[in-house]
Amino acid sequence: MNHIGITKELRQKEELKLRKRSSIPSYSFAIISLLPVLIYGLYAMGLFKTTWKDPLKVLEEATSLISTNSGVGTAFLVSSDKLLTARHVVEDVAIGDVVSLLFEMVEPQISTNAILEWRDDTPLPNNVDLNYFLTDVAVLRLVDPDAVMDVQPLSLGSSDDIPNLTKIIAIGYPGGDYSITEGSINSDNIEGEELFKLDAASNPGNSGGPIIAKEDHTVIGMLVGAKGGDQEGENVANKINNILSLLEKNGVEIE
């Protein structure tokens, strides 16, 4: 007579299979739990490096203090070896001469030099008017681009059709001290000139610093001055499209 059912040997095999299956989730959970510890250990030993950076940190690192014989200002990296700044920041520097740069927000800080490659040659008037701000542009070229090879250049956006009250970030070195402030564009036209009027705080030394759209972190302008008198606190930025058009007109490449 044949018995229909599970033999002892077959039952033991089935139990073994079940034990193996039930152990898989436990092993998986243990491995997943240990992953953060493993990654941290590799990172601490320098065996694992992440390329992700806080977007705000990227903006800070690319903005440099510039020092000349007459004072300080701000410049910002727009390619692997080129920086933009305001012309009046390097007014006392001859084309081809060297200026000092300090990328203070990079860890460790980077102290390097750049050559004044181009500067608009419009004469500086005794009383700076708004029209002058449209040509207040200069280009620097790094002497040693490898010194900042790990610094990501800022992305240039478009200054066309920027609505009033657009939130912006202004970065610079007023008085030689690092500063980052937020504000808004109060107007995209000042007395008929294609300039931004801002309410972001700034002081001497901020000139040449980037004006960045907070929404997408692209450069839409460069701080060039401030209005005084009854309009104290209203700062002026040249639009990035004006700057790029001026450079193209003069055959100056920054990429």
For 73-101, give the secondary structure using H, E and C. Answer: EEEEECCCCEEEECHHHHCCCCCCCEEEE
- As a whole number, mean pLDDT of residues 105-109 equals 96
Q: What percent of the chain has pLDDT over 90?
A: 64
pLDDT in tens, 117-163: 999 987 766 666 788 899 999 999 999 999 999 999 999 999 998 99
Regarding predicted confidence, which is higher, 74 or 10?
A: 74
Q: Has domain 55-148 been given CATH number 2.40.10.10?
A: yes
- Lowest-confidence range among 34-48, 70-84, 160-174? 34-48
Q: Looking at the chain, which residues constitute the CATH 2.40.10.10 domain(s)? A: 55-148, 167-249
pLDDT the model gives residue 229: 42
Residue 168 has pLDDT above 50, yes or no: yes
Give the C-alpha separation, 239 to 213, whole Å: 12
Residue 248 has pLDDT above 70, yes or no: yes
pLDDT the model gives residue 201: 74
pLDDT the model gives residue 8: 62
Assigned CATH for 167-249: 2.40.10.10
Residue 86 has pLDDT above 80, yes or no: yes
Beta bridge mates, 63: 76
